[in-house]
Structure 1
């Protein structure tokens, strides 16, 4: 950093000379002011804030999370997911505030499409690293795009080992997001296991400060059934607790051959810290998504437009029309028609 940001006072005085004339012609008091200004500028240019904010992106190792900013993002941008909100906020804030965690943070997000799993991943990325999903310390793997062929599992395993090791070596607080976990080959998932365990280091590299997110549609039926039963019993959706889902999800994923976690050692060895359920969204939540999308695009949120867009969605079960079958996923496209 010193090589990039260090600036000699003499060099700055030379620059000042070009602007104000030769330094020898300046009064003593002017020379003193010039030297003080040069020293201050040298200190600023050499500071970590300038170097990391203006010149390069620096790893966030050692910096606690801004819990207030994370909480605000989840509150203002994520709708109908009180369990995901509470779990992720507490888990991520606590983990990032711990200077020496015993293992990486591993969150497995489950629910039907459009309920907010990818959206939450984006929020997490933006709060862990300033550049969010564009950060060189945030790594997204999509199963169907990065690991499409079952006959190349050995190659994929070698690549994953190299990618994870290399990136954590560069930044201990690296964030890894694995999407479409329900389509991932079980052998490939188990290849990740050593990086998620309680090891102090592997081949000289510690993975304890990294964050791993697993996104999956698997378990969506279990979550919907539990939410629907709660609704039929006349209970409030907000009374649902994490304990109502975690056992159901972990056992269901372990025994479901199409879950990506079938007989996985990640579950067997309790390496997944939280199974986070994303509940099916109701019409009122879809309306909130529409209003938020309008605001993001610079339009004044219009309740009438929100109602019309939300009513165009299809809902299930057919006899109740309670939950949106696509969540908020098609809201941007539907909204285009009105804007």
Structure 2
């Protein structure tokens, strides 16, 4: 439709609306018709009727005006081109009622393009680079090593607690007098018993003169191990009692090897470490020493490597006595240090003992020093307490004076027999 046609249609619509308004005015107000007089007689009822008619006409006119504006806006929006100004001219008016407002056009939704990947479009995100398998294996290896170390530390504590080395230390300090070598022995036991698997047995050889506490120390160790590992895994072997005759040495050697092997096999089944105490080793025949060397030597063929061997002997006591008498001042200082006497005498004793038999090549040498008068008095005090006697200090000094001593050297008097005669003298009380 052109602009001319639209303007003519608008003028026609306005004319029709004016005629409709005039017709309604004539219909509603009969007094307002053309043939009526201009100035009819006024009354109260006619005035109210006229006023109502005027109000209705005004309302109708305002409604028609609003409808005209709405039609103009609708017709102007549909007929105008894009970018053209909207006309405010009246549009075609019909009596069919208000046209239904047209629905706004639907905007087409833009389809988003899907990004497809080579694996048939299943992956909606860029593929991640695969991690290195070597790194995962490294993390796994570190975790395994950590668990192994932690388990080993726990096993160390378990083994030490099983053998109650703290209780053994208190017992030895209370029962053994004047021997600093006991501290070295406890240190070696603590290091060895902290784990179960070893590549060689622990071999310790204690040497000293008579009465310094060798046999007493062996009995204390055997009693303690019996309480923690059981009596079947502890052996106390006295050479003069088990094999007094030299002719029986071959048979005794075979019996000893079989007995030690059986005990070691049983200990391995129970995952325990046995203790073998050999006293009076100086009286053993060569066949027994050879059998002991075959048992303790560290080689792959030896199956029983988890064991503790303790040799008690008076071999080399002359070197110990001579060293302490000629170096009494240094011996006193060495006795106050941890293992000082052992460091000074161990090389000399090892050389002497290896000439007697190669067994001592496999053993740790611990010398036990002489006991002075103070140590002997401690022995008397302990024995009298055990027997139930009142520990009178004057009485103890009198008994200690009856013991035979070496000549005084460096202000110290060392006993010739140690504490060996203490038990006999207390029994005479």
TM-score, length-normalised on structure 2?
0.57
Distance across 2 between alignment mates of 1:235 and 1:248: 19
Aligned to 2:219: 122
**Paired position in structure 2 for 1:7:** none
Which digits, 9 at most, give the CA deviation of each residue in 1:206-237, with x for residues without a partner?
Answer: 32221111111111111111111221568534
Tell me how far apart the structure 1 counterparts of residues 159 and 266 of structure 2 sit (CA, whole Å).
10
Q: Which residue of 2 aligns with 1:150?
A: 246
Q: Tell me by how many angstroms 1:291 deviates.
A: 0.9
Tell me which residue corresponds to 2:424: 333
* Structure label with greater radius of gyration: 2
CA distance in 2, matches of 1:301, 1:201: 56
Task: Give the alignment of 1:1-339 within 5 angstroms.
Answer: 64-82=162-180, 84-130=181-227, 135-172=231-268, 173-200=273-300, 202=302, 206-231=303-328, 236=333, 237-239=335-337, 240-255=340-355, 262=356, 264-267=357-360, 270-272=361-363, 274-317=364-407, 322-338=413-429
Aligned to 2:52: none
Shift of 1:298: 3.7
Secondary structure in 2 matching 1:324: coil
Question: Is the CA contact 2:206–2:312 (under 8 Å) kept in the aligned structure 1?
Answer: yes
The Cα offsets for residues 105-139 of structure 1, whole Å up to 9 and x where unpaired, read as 1111111111001111122123322089x923221
Query: What secondary structure is seen at the aligned counterpart in 2 of 1:95?
Result: helix
Query: How many angstroms apart in 2 are the aligned matches of 1:162 and 1:76?
Result: 36
Where does structure 1 lack aligned partners over 5 or more consecutive residues?
1-59, 256-261
Kindly report the root-mean-square deviation, in angstroms, between the aligned alpha carbons of the 2 structures: 2.6
Between 1 and 2, higher relative CO (CA 8 Å, sep ≥ 6) is seen in 1
1:70 to partner: Cα distance: 1.6
Paired with 1:152 and 1:61, the residues of 2 have a C-alpha distance of 39
2:243 & 2:211 partners in 1: Cα distance? 23
Shift of 1:334: 0.5
Q: Give the 3 Å change call, closer, same or farther, for CA 300–195 of structure 1 in structure 2.
A: same
When the two structures are aligned, how many residues end up with a matched partner? Answer: 264
1:63 & 1:197 partners in 2: Cα distance?
28
TM-score by length of 1: 0.71
